[in-house]
Structure 1
Amino acid sequence: MPTRKKFVAGNWKMNTTLAEAKALGAAVAKGVGTDTNVTVAVCPPFPWLVPVGEAIKGSAVALGAQDVHYEKKGAFTGEVSPAMLIEAGCKYAIVGHSERRHILGESETAINHKVHTALEEGLSVILCMGETLAERERNLQERVFQRQVFAACAGLTDEQFQRLVIAYEPVWAIGTGKVATPDQAQEAHAFVRTKLRQLYGDKIADTTPILYGGSVTPETTAGLMSKPDVDGALVGGASLKADSFVAIVKAAGG
């Protein structure tokens, strides 16, 4: 089985001032350095992409956006296209985060369209999925994963899958301080990988990184990363403190 490189991405959400963003980016870049055995990305708010890109330049840290629009250009007030993100220095875009699904009402169709457009335009995609507490309590999580994987990835080519990262984020663990146990995370990741294998074959299943997200901390990282199907972390609150985020990167790298 191929060895998947660990991947840690920081989602800053709607936080930081310009000064804070530049300082955070610079501190993460310094902490990670130019050589790491972990793929690392930070995803600041849209207005701070260019200055944070400057702050991390020369390091091993890549720039990502927290969202992207599903059309390439046009009359879409307030939206940001993949080409704009690439020109701003982005390599990655997060798509389908639970806050966009559940707070802003993004549909499975819109998420699939975003995935396609971002990949077609040259971005790599961090695709989020996960169940709510109500869905887990009713033991529906596997049905949710199956629906979300099938809907978001429908129509992708093998080449496009090489630029897709999946992030499993149990909605009940995001920003709550609750963390799925390593065994719960492994169970979810293994199921998602099984679905990828059934739908798209061994190569895609074995090479697609699946990250865990949901109140990740330096203390919980090693246990999560010890599981065979947990390939990294999408970090929320802890990514707003450079020392915490760098500690997670180092823990992921073993």
Structure 2
Amino acid sequence: MINIHVGKSFYIMFDVAEGGIVEPIEFRKDQLTPDKSIIVMDEDNQKVWLWHGKGRGLVPRRTALRQAQSLKGHGYQAGNAIIGRDLDAIIEIDDRKVGREPESTQNNEKLMLLLNKNFEGIGNFVYIIGKGGEKPAPAQKSQPVIKQVTPTPIASKPKAQEPEHPKLDTPKINVNVLNEELAKTEQTPSKPALDDSDKLLIGKAIVILMDQFKDLLISSKDDGTIKIEQMEGNICSFSVDNHKISFTPDSFSEIPSEKKEAIETQILKI
């Protein structure tokens, strides 16, 4: 049973478990550990805080972001109340960048100030700061779940229901996966055929990029271009022509020029 406190802001903390399952947990600062992605719904500041530990990979972070977006739009049903519906923004914090990037560092400091406050639990992992007038709510026997809200269609302008997001498979960077992607490239008529030397060239380039960047997402486009990405955005795209690698113009556009030149030089010497 929870008590709805009139005129107070509510707070809930969630752990994004394996498979994207969102579970409410006790509101404590020590929940932020390297192996977790933690979501905090903050009605006072009208924000959803999404904190990623240093040990979280690309796919778990993207999954946690989708769940944070759902909570931001639809809120969370606890007892007979929906908490945190239509919050203003999601503040995403990667603990690996704290102390290195000003924005990440400042956002992390704000979150720590919030978590250091004295919260009062009112049931079902719902917390408030201070005390206020209470309105009793009926007991809930089942565990609270995220309420998925479908917009009500308007007769003159019907809204299409959003398709469900497919689950992402964990990317695996190894020779077998690379060969499978290149085999698909050869089977598609619009893609140029690659011989063994071209495949080896691409493999060497990817190994060099793996030494410089973590959590890579590698994809092969219809025209045979190999695209390399991180969660933060694009790294580079390249193709092989006459046994030589050539980069697309937008490659390394967000990478410091000195690092860009060093990586390009190393790959082009293969």
TM norm structure 2:
0.23
Higher strand share: 2
Structure index of larger Rg: 2
Higher helix share: 1
Higher RCO (CA-CA < 8 Å; seq separation 6+): 1
